[in-house]
Protein backbone atom coordinates (compact mmCIF):
# COMPACT_ATOMS: atom_id res chain seq x y z
CA UNK A 1 0.00 0.00 0.00
CA UNK A 2 1.31 3.45 -0.92
CA UNK A 3 1.98 5.87 1.91
CA UNK A 4 0.36 8.67 -0.14
CA UNK A 5 -3.37 9.35 0.05
CA UNK A 6 -4.89 11.84 -2.40
CA UNK A 7 -7.79 14.21 -1.87
CA UNK A 8 -10.98 13.41 -3.75
CA UNK A 9 -14.14 15.21 -4.79
CA UNK A 10 -16.24 16.07 -1.71
CA UNK A 11 -18.77 13.38 -0.82
CA UNK A 12 -22.30 14.13 0.40
CA UNK A 13 -20.91 15.21 3.79
CA UNK A 14 -18.13 17.33 2.28
CA UNK A 15 -15.34 14.87 3.13
CA UNK A 16 -12.38 14.98 0.73
CA UNK A 17 -9.91 12.93 2.82
CA UNK A 18 -10.53 10.32 5.50
CA UNK A 19 -7.70 8.33 7.07
CA UNK A 20 -8.69 6.05 9.93
CA UNK A 21 -6.54 3.70 12.02
CA UNK A 22 -8.20 0.85 10.13
CA UNK A 23 -7.44 2.25 6.66
CA UNK A 24 -3.88 3.17 7.66
CA UNK A 25 -3.18 -0.14 9.37
CA UNK A 26 -2.10 1.44 12.64
CA UNK A 27 -3.53 2.24 16.08
CA UNK A 28 -3.65 5.92 16.92
CA UNK A 29 -3.92 8.71 14.32
CA UNK A 30 -7.09 9.64 12.43
CA UNK A 31 -7.22 12.49 9.91
CA UNK A 32 -10.10 13.89 7.88
CA UNK A 33 -10.55 17.00 5.73
CA UNK A 34 -14.01 18.46 5.14
CA UNK A 35 -14.77 21.05 2.46
CA UNK A 36 -18.11 22.75 3.05
CA UNK A 37 -20.04 24.77 0.50
CA UNK A 38 -21.90 27.91 1.66
CA UNK A 39 -24.70 27.11 4.08
CA UNK A 40 -23.62 23.50 4.64
CA UNK A 41 -23.41 21.70 7.98
CA UNK A 42 -21.12 18.90 9.14
CA UNK A 43 -21.96 16.88 12.23
CA UNK A 44 -19.42 14.68 13.95
CA UNK A 45 -18.90 12.46 16.96
CA UNK A 46 -15.71 10.59 17.79
CA UNK A 47 -16.48 7.86 20.38
CA UNK A 48 -13.32 7.09 22.33
CA UNK A 49 -11.35 9.70 20.36
CA UNK A 50 -10.54 13.34 21.03
CA UNK A 51 -10.54 15.76 18.09
CA UNK A 52 -8.83 18.98 17.09
CA UNK A 53 -10.74 20.89 14.41
CA UNK A 54 -8.21 23.02 12.52
CA UNK A 55 -9.83 25.67 10.32
CA UNK A 56 -7.78 25.56 7.14
CA UNK A 57 -9.75 28.35 5.48
CA UNK A 58 -13.02 30.22 5.84
CA UNK A 59 -15.15 31.11 8.83
CA UNK A 60 -17.33 28.66 10.77
CA UNK A 61 -19.44 28.26 13.89
CA UNK A 62 -19.02 25.22 16.13
CA UNK A 63 -21.51 23.79 18.61
CA UNK A 64 -20.51 21.07 21.04
CA UNK A 65 -22.22 20.07 24.27
CA UNK A 66 -23.44 23.31 25.87
CA UNK A 67 -20.90 25.46 24.03
CA UNK A 68 -21.54 27.50 20.89
CA UNK A 69 -18.72 29.41 19.21
CA UNK A 70 -19.58 31.82 16.38
CA UNK A 71 -17.41 33.42 13.69
CA UNK A 72 -14.30 31.27 14.10
CA UNK A 73 -11.49 31.54 11.56
CA UNK A 74 -10.23 34.38 9.40
CA UNK A 75 -7.76 32.75 7.00
CA UNK A 76 -8.30 32.79 3.26
CA UNK A 77 -5.80 29.93 3.08
CA UNK A 78 -3.28 27.97 5.08
CA UNK A 79 -0.40 30.32 4.30
CA UNK A 80 -2.20 33.28 5.93
CA UNK A 81 -0.89 33.07 9.49
CA UNK A 82 -1.71 30.80 12.44
CA UNK A 83 -5.08 29.01 12.47
CA UNK A 84 -8.08 29.01 14.73
CA UNK A 85 -8.81 25.52 16.05
CA UNK A 86 -11.31 23.85 18.38
CA UNK A 87 -10.42 21.08 20.82
CA UNK A 88 -13.25 18.54 21.26
CA UNK A 89 -13.05 15.95 24.09
CA UNK A 90 -13.73 12.32 23.26
CA UNK A 91 -17.39 11.43 22.83
CA UNK A 92 -18.59 15.03 22.45
CA UNK A 93 -20.94 15.54 19.54
CA UNK A 94 -20.10 18.62 17.49
CA UNK A 95 -21.72 20.56 14.69
CA UNK A 96 -19.90 22.75 12.17
CA UNK A 97 -21.83 25.43 10.27
CA UNK A 98 -20.52 27.78 7.60
CA UNK A 99 -21.86 30.74 5.67
CA UNK A 100 -19.17 30.83 2.97
CA UNK A 101 -16.85 28.12 1.68
CA UNK A 102 -14.71 26.59 4.42
CA UNK A 103 -12.19 23.77 4.83
CA UNK A 104 -11.64 22.05 8.16
CA UNK A 105 -9.11 19.39 9.14
CA UNK A 106 -10.36 16.97 11.79
CA UNK A 107 -7.45 15.41 13.71
CA UNK A 108 -8.28 12.54 16.09
CA UNK A 109 -6.60 10.14 18.51
CA UNK A 110 -7.64 7.79 21.34
CA UNK A 111 -8.89 9.48 24.52
CA UNK A 112 -11.24 9.00 27.47
CA UNK A 113 -13.10 12.33 27.46
CA UNK A 114 -11.01 14.44 29.81
CA UNK A 115 -10.64 18.17 29.26
CA UNK A 116 -12.97 20.89 28.06
CA UNK A 117 -14.25 21.90 24.67
CA UNK A 118 -12.27 25.04 23.88
CA UNK A 119 -11.16 27.38 21.12
CA UNK A 120 -7.45 27.62 20.33
CA UNK A 121 -7.09 31.09 18.85
CA UNK A 122 -4.22 32.30 16.63
CA UNK A 123 -2.68 34.17 19.57
CA UNK A 124 -2.61 30.89 21.52
CA UNK A 125 -0.50 29.15 18.86
CA UNK A 126 3.20 28.91 19.67
CA UNK A 127 5.35 30.26 16.84
CA UNK A 128 8.84 28.91 16.29
CA UNK A 129 11.59 29.18 13.67
CA UNK A 130 13.68 26.05 13.24
CA UNK A 131 16.89 25.43 11.32
CA UNK A 132 19.15 27.80 9.43
CA UNK A 133 19.96 28.57 5.81
CA UNK A 134 18.01 26.36 3.43
CA UNK A 135 16.93 24.26 6.41
CA UNK A 136 14.87 27.15 7.85
CA UNK A 137 11.14 26.54 8.36
CA UNK A 138 8.38 28.20 10.38
CA UNK A 139 6.41 26.21 12.93
CA UNK A 140 2.94 26.84 14.40
CA UNK A 141 2.38 24.70 17.50
CA UNK A 142 -1.38 24.18 17.86
CA UNK A 143 -1.30 21.29 20.34
CA UNK A 144 2.24 20.59 21.53
CA UNK A 145 3.10 18.11 24.28
CA UNK A 146 2.60 20.79 26.94
CA UNK A 147 -0.94 21.72 25.85
CA UNK A 148 -4.05 20.16 27.38
CA UNK A 149 -4.97 17.00 25.46
CA UNK A 150 -4.80 13.24 26.00
CA UNK A 151 -3.06 11.86 22.90
CA UNK A 152 -3.03 14.43 20.11
CA UNK A 153 -0.08 16.47 18.92
CA UNK A 154 -0.96 18.93 16.14
CA UNK A 155 1.38 21.37 14.36
CA UNK A 156 1.54 23.37 11.13
CA UNK A 157 4.82 24.02 9.29
CA UNK A 158 5.66 26.44 6.46
CA UNK A 159 8.70 25.46 4.39
CA UNK A 160 9.83 28.17 1.92
CA UNK A 161 10.59 27.16 -1.65
CA UNK A 162 14.09 25.72 -2.01
CA UNK A 163 14.21 24.66 1.65
CA UNK A 164 14.13 21.35 3.48
CA UNK A 165 12.02 20.42 6.47
CA UNK A 166 11.80 17.58 8.98
CA UNK A 167 15.52 17.71 8.32
CA UNK A 168 18.06 16.31 9.07
CA UNK A 169 15.94 13.17 8.73
CA UNK A 170 14.50 12.13 12.08
CA UNK A 171 12.25 9.39 13.37
CA UNK A 172 10.08 8.63 16.40
CA UNK A 173 9.22 4.94 16.10
CA UNK A 174 10.59 3.40 19.31
CA UNK A 175 8.70 3.38 22.60
CA UNK A 176 11.92 4.04 24.51
CA UNK A 177 11.30 7.19 26.53
CA UNK A 178 13.28 9.33 27.39
CA UNK A 179 15.53 8.52 24.40
CA UNK A 180 12.69 8.30 21.86
CA UNK A 181 8.91 8.02 21.71
CA UNK A 182 6.67 6.07 19.35
CA UNK A 183 4.37 8.35 17.37
CA UNK A 184 2.39 7.66 14.21
CA UNK A 185 2.16 10.70 11.98
CA UNK A 186 0.32 12.16 9.00
CA UNK A 187 1.56 14.99 6.77
CA UNK A 188 -1.18 16.97 4.99
CA UNK A 189 0.50 18.96 2.21
CA UNK A 190 -0.57 22.21 0.53
CA UNK A 191 1.47 24.24 -1.97
CA UNK A 192 1.67 27.84 -3.13
CA UNK A 193 1.19 28.21 -6.06
CA UNK A 194 -1.13 25.21 -6.03
CA UNK A 195 0.22 23.59 -9.22
CA UNK A 196 3.53 22.87 -7.48
CA UNK A 197 4.92 19.69 -6.02
CA UNK A 198 7.29 18.64 -3.24
CA UNK A 199 9.12 15.49 -2.24
CA UNK A 200 8.95 13.39 0.91
CA UNK A 201 11.00 10.31 1.64
CA UNK A 202 9.99 7.77 4.31
CA UNK A 203 12.63 5.16 5.13
CA UNK A 204 13.77 2.90 7.96
CA UNK A 205 17.29 1.89 8.97
CA UNK A 206 16.81 -1.58 7.48
CA UNK A 207 15.04 -0.13 4.40
CA UNK A 208 11.99 -2.33 4.96
CA UNK A 209 10.26 0.97 4.22
CA UNK A 210 11.95 3.17 1.62
CA UNK A 211 9.52 5.26 -0.38
CA UNK A 212 10.15 8.60 -2.07
CA UNK A 213 6.88 10.37 -2.82
CA UNK A 214 6.07 13.27 -5.12
CA UNK A 215 3.33 15.14 -3.27
CA UNK A 216 0.90 17.61 -4.77
CA UNK A 217 -1.56 20.06 -3.25
CA UNK A 218 -3.97 18.20 -0.95
CA UNK A 219 -1.97 14.98 -0.60
CA UNK A 220 -1.38 13.18 2.70
CA UNK A 221 1.71 11.12 3.46
CA UNK A 222 1.37 8.53 6.22
CA UNK A 223 4.41 7.86 8.39
CA UNK A 224 3.94 4.63 10.36
CA UNK A 225 7.65 4.55 11.27
CA UNK A 226 11.03 5.63 9.95
CA UNK A 227 12.73 8.86 8.93
CA UNK A 228 10.63 11.31 6.91
CA UNK A 229 12.39 14.42 5.44
CA UNK A 230 10.59 16.83 3.10
CA UNK A 231 11.96 19.06 0.30
CA UNK A 232 10.21 22.04 -1.34
CA UNK A 233 11.41 22.95 -4.85
CA UNK A 234 12.42 26.52 -5.75
CA UNK A 235 9.39 28.72 -6.43
CA UNK A 236 6.87 26.73 -4.39
CA UNK A 237 6.23 27.28 -0.71
CA UNK A 238 5.08 24.19 1.15
CA UNK A 239 2.61 23.94 4.03
CA UNK A 240 1.99 20.79 5.97
CA UNK A 241 -0.23 19.92 8.90
CA UNK A 242 1.22 17.22 11.15
CA UNK A 243 -0.92 14.99 13.37
CA UNK A 244 0.92 12.69 15.77
CA UNK A 245 -0.20 10.26 18.47
CA UNK A 246 1.13 7.21 20.26
CA UNK A 247 1.22 5.46 23.63
CA UNK A 248 2.96 8.44 25.30
CA UNK A 249 2.09 12.07 24.59
CA UNK A 250 5.64 13.30 24.17
CA UNK A 251 7.63 14.19 21.03
CA UNK A 252 11.15 12.78 21.42
CA UNK A 253 12.89 11.99 18.14
CA UNK A 254 16.17 10.52 16.92
CA UNK A 255 18.11 11.91 13.97
CA UNK A 256 19.53 9.65 11.27
CA UNK A 257 23.15 9.25 12.44
CA UNK A 258 24.38 9.42 8.83
CA UNK A 259 23.11 13.00 8.51
CA UNK A 260 23.29 14.38 12.04
CA UNK A 261 26.58 16.15 11.21
CA UNK A 262 24.52 18.76 9.34
CA UNK A 263 23.46 20.21 12.70
CA UNK A 264 27.10 21.15 13.37
CA UNK A 265 27.50 24.00 10.89
CA UNK A 266 31.30 23.76 10.63
CA UNK A 267 31.42 19.97 10.49
CA UNK A 268 31.84 17.83 7.41
CA UNK A 269 30.97 14.16 7.03
CA UNK A 270 33.78 11.68 7.49
CA UNK A 271 35.41 10.62 4.24
CA UNK A 272 34.51 7.17 2.98
CA UNK A 273 36.63 4.82 0.90
CA UNK A 274 35.70 3.79 -2.60
CA UNK A 275 34.89 5.53 -5.86
> Does a structural domain hold residue 4?
no
> Does a structural domain hold residue 69?
yes
Chain segment 40-58, per-residue pLDDT in tens: 999 999 899 999 999 999 9
pLDDT of residue 273: 40
Using CA atoms, how far apart are residues 178 and 176, in angstroms rounded to an integer?
6
Written in H, E and C, the secondary structure of 232-261 is CCCCCEEEEEEEEECCCCCCCCEECCCCHH
pLDDT of residue 65: 87
pLDDT of residue 265: 64
pLDDT of residue 272: 42
Our count of domains for the chain comes to 1
Closest CA to 110 of 187, 183, 13: 183
Task: Decide: 249 and 145 in contact? Cβ < 8 Å.
Answer: yes
Using CA atoms, how far apart are residues 223 and 202, in angstroms rounded to an integer?
7
> Does a structural domain hold residue 92?
yes
Residues of the chain predicted below pLDDT 50 = 271-275
> Does a structural domain hold residue 44?
yes
- Give pTM, 2 decimals: 0.95
> Does a structural domain hold residue 33?
yes
pLDDT of residue 48: 96
Using CA atoms, how far apart are residues 10 and 16, in angstroms rounded to an integer?
5
> Does a structural domain hold residue 272?
no
> Does a structural domain hold residue 274?
no
> Does a structural domain hold residue 7?
no
Range of the domain at 31: 13-263
CATH of the domain at 61: 2.60.120.10
pLDDT of residue 232: 98
Closest CA to 60 of 43, 46, 45: 43
Amino acid sequence: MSLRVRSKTPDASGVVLDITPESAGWNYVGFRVVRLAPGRVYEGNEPGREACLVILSGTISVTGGKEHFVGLGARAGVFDGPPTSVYVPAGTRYRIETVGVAEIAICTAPATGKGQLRVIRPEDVGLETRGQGTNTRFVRNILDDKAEAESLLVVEVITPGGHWSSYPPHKHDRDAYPEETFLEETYYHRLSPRQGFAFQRVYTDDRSIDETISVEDGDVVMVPRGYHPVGAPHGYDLYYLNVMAGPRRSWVFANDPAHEWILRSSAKPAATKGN
